[in-house]
């Protein structure tokens, strides 16, 4: 209703002033809270921005290092491929060389065996020819250097060979009766 009785002398509480005071206190509290939150948010936001910038810089550095590493890997891969090709080529050359060496060794062994066989054959032939030559000389010395009277008297005659010719004087002897020679 609109009318309120107040006895005179009784304390009167001014609700309007209390309400305005309360609103002012509430307004200050809200401003203080909002200021703290805004200050905290601004500080937090600044820290996040700094952290974001630091992370971006780290990412840029890591990205550059990754690109450098990738290029190094490409270079090393190319060097490895080149080296592998050279190694394979060298292995093939070594295999061919070993094959050629084996073939040459077998051929040389075969030729050496043929030469040894031929040498043994020549030595045998030389021994045979030498023995035949000595027999021919021994048999010829008696007929050349001994006369019929020397054979009957069994005398010894001197003889020598010079330039494949028999001479009836020298350092070898022949027994004219038996045909035995000494020193030859």
- Show the CA angle centred on residue 155, arms to residues 153 and 157, nearest 5°: 145
Alpha-carbon span 64 to 51, nearest angstrom: 20
Alpha-carbon span 114 to 120, nearest angstrom: 10
Which ranges of the chain would DSSP assign to H, the alpha helix?
15-145, 148-153
* Other CB atoms within 10 A of residue 161 CB: 14
Is the per-residue pLDDT at 67 higher than 90? yes
Q: Tell me phi and psi for residue 8, to 5 degrees.
A: -70, 140
Q: Tell me phi and psi for residue 132, to 5 degrees.
A: -65, -40
Mean pLDDT of the chain: 85
Q: pLDDT tens for residues 84-125? A: 888 898 888 888 889 988 888 988 888 889 989 999 988 888
Residue 180 region by backbone torsions, left for phi larger than 0, else alpha for psi between -120 and 50, else beta: beta
């Amino acid at each position: 209703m609109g009318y309120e009785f107040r006895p005179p002398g009784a304390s009167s509480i001014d609700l309007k002033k209390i309400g305005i005071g309360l609103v002012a206190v509430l307004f200050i509290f809200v401003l203080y809270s909002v200021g703290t939150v805004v200050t905290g948010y601004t500080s937090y936001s600044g820290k996040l921005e700094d952290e974001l910038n630091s992370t971006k810089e780290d990412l840029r550095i890591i990205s550059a290092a990754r690109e450098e590493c990738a290029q190094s890997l490409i270079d090393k891969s190319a060097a490895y491929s080149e080296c592998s090709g050279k190694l394979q080529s060298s292995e093939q050359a070594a295999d061919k060389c070993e094959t050629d060496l084996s073939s040459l060794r077998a051929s040389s062994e075969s030729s050496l065996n043929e030469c040894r066989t031929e040498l043994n054959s020549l030595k045998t032939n030389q021994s045979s020819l030498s023995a035949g030559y000595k027999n021919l000389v021994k048999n010829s010395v008696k007929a050349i250097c001994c006369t019929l009277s020397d054979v009957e008297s069994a005398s010894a005659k001197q003889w020598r060979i010079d330039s494949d010719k028999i001479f009836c004087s020298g350092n070898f002897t022949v027994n004219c009766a038996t045909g035995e020679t000494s020193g030859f």
